[in-house]
Structure 1
Amino acid sequence: MASGDDSALIWTRSEPGTRRPKFTRDQIASTALSLADTEGFAAVSMRRVAAELGAGTMTLYYYVRTKDELIALMDDAIMGEVWIPADEFPAHWYDALTAVAERTWDVLMRHPWALQSLRNASMGPNAMRHFEQSLAALAGTRLAAAEKFALLAVVDDYVHGNVLRSAEFRAANAAPVDDEVIEAAIRFAESQYATGEFPHTQELFGGKDPREVFPRLIGVVSEKDRFRHGLAMVLDGAARRLDLPPR
């Protein structure tokens, strides 16, 4: 393998410890995450993080060379939240993947901005631990390497998609309701039903106000319970398709 300048990766350099004030990478990452959680990712900058730490911007550059390195620290801090302690990790593949998926969902729901804003972050040690743990969940199965990777990708797709959809629902529910727009949308739907091209949609709503029908369709369940129900459908389907041992 050709050698290169590994110092370009923050993980290959020791943390500075000879100057004052002294900060750890964990402190820097935690400060940046707190900013993103409370004010949005756009609020995160080297200058702002330094100010929150009570340091000058140039002092922060002593610990973190670039904004990309700051993003890498943030991403790895989040992946550290995702990792499950070994003594809590289930032995059965189904329970293990469920634990990984639920832990990931919990973390991303706390930091929903991360899916978009940190997607190009370089992989750090906690991300590698998470991937290793995900593979460990399937170690006792007879799946081929490609099948393991495909199953983990499907679970990740479901988790990430559910987080994004939940964030959309939260934003929609927080927005003010414009009754005039809703009434216009209902009239439009009714005009479309009259064409006879949407019999299944018409049957679903039964000629009733969607605002009354949707809550009954969704049911009175929490975001987490809806996530768990969908995850079970994904894993049950995987068990049948891949001939995995049942739960």
Structure 2
Amino acid sequence: MPADKQPYPSVWARPQRPRREQPLLSREQIVSAALELLDAEGIGALSMRKLGTRLNAGATSMYTHVANKDELIELVVDEVYGEVEVPAADDPAGWRAAITRCARSMRAAVLRHPWIGSVLGEAGVAYLGPNVLRQNEAILAVFEQGGFTLEAADRALNTVVAYVIGVSTSEAAWLTTLARSGRSEQEWVESLWPAAEQAVQDYPRLRKLYAAQRDQNLSAARDDEFDSGLECILHGLVARFAPEGGTS
């Protein structure tokens, strides 16, 4: 079926094309090479032509698996989601611990692949990818184990994922800027600190906060801030939906 005649232009909505012979490249090889290119050079560097050159392959070999760049991005996004730890509903530590580990793993995946934040809203129907589906099914099961109804579990899933993606995408952008500068996080902040202190002189609350944060370990502070925000999210979900066993 031609891409423009599909009900929705997506690699997940398109029937697989019949193969008359064994293709020179596998889908796995194409996705792996695209992921390496994206991690090394960012989303602006990705093109079917450049990927073909990297794989030493013609367009025909790649178009056996993907119709265009958009489909390729769907595949690569799902590959990244495959790195996320899938929580277990019967986790002896309880549902909160399972969701927390999954959220931390999702954040880590975004930080390993900082380009992903720029394509999540454009990745077609990425939520139909097998890794995303497996992850979401597992998260729903964990929330149900914690006493949430299926409908409440769906709301909770969306809330947690929105929090993780929002925080980690901003964090990834910051770390990407640092990497381009050639400075460490501590060096960057030290160079900026005099201007920051001067800027908040007329704002007593900000001045107090900045002073308290002056010598903190920045990496550890980001970890703590993420965990603290996630804990607030989980407490809020319990308060909103009042599930049985929600305190565990």
TM-score past 0.5 threshold: yes
Match of 2:155 among 131, 135, 150: 150
* 2-structure distance, mates of 1:67, 1:116: 15
Q: Give, in angstroms, the shift of residue 241 of structure 1.
A: 4.1
* 2-structure distance, mates of 1:147, 1:41: 35
Which aligned pairs between 1:29-178 and structure 2 lie closer than 5 A?
29-82=31-84, 84=86, 90=91, 92-121=94-123, 122-123=125-126, 124-171=129-176, 173-174=178-179, 175=181
**Matched residue of 1:55: which SS?**
coil
* 2-structure distance, mates of 1:72, 1:112: 16
* Cα 1:182/1:221, change in 2 over 3 Å: closer
* Cα 1:42/1:144, change in 2 over 3 Å: same
Return the letter of the residue paired with 2:107: W
* 2-structure distance, mates of 1:189, 1:153: 36
Q: Give, in angstroms, the shift of residue 9 of structure 1.
A: 4.4
* 1:59-113 superposed Cα distances (whole Å, 9 cap, x missing partner): 3223221112111111221222225286x97263212222321221121111121
Contact in 1 for aligned 2:47/2:69 (Cα 8 Å)? yes
* Cα 1:184/1:200, change in 2 over 3 Å: closer
* 2-structure distance, mates of 1:39, 1:90: 39
* 1-structure distance, mates of 2:116, 2:44: 12
Q: Give, in angstroms, the shift of residue 220 of structure 1.
A: 7.0
Return the letter of the residue paired with 1:153: N
* 2-structure distance, mates of 1:228, 1:132: 23
Identity %: 29
* 2-structure distance, mates of 1:105, 1:181: 26
TM-score (norm 2): 0.75
Question: Greater CA deviation, 91-100 or 27-36?
Answer: 91-100
Q: Which has the larger radius of gyration?
A: 1
* 1-structure distance, mates of 2:99, 2:241: 15
How many residues end up aligned between the 2 structures? 231
* Cα 1:184/1:215, change in 2 over 3 Å: closer
Q: Give, in angstroms, the shift of residue 28 of structure 1.
A: 1.0
* 1:199-234 superposed Cα distances (whole Å, 9 cap, x missing partner): 4334x15xxxx5x64244677726444423332232
**Matched residue of 2:121: which SS?**
coil
The match for 2:238 is 239
Question: Greater CA deviation, 128-137 or 29-38?
Answer: 128-137
Q: Gapped runs of 5+ residues in structure 2?
A: none
Q: Give, in angstroms, the shift of residue 49 of structure 1.
A: 1.3
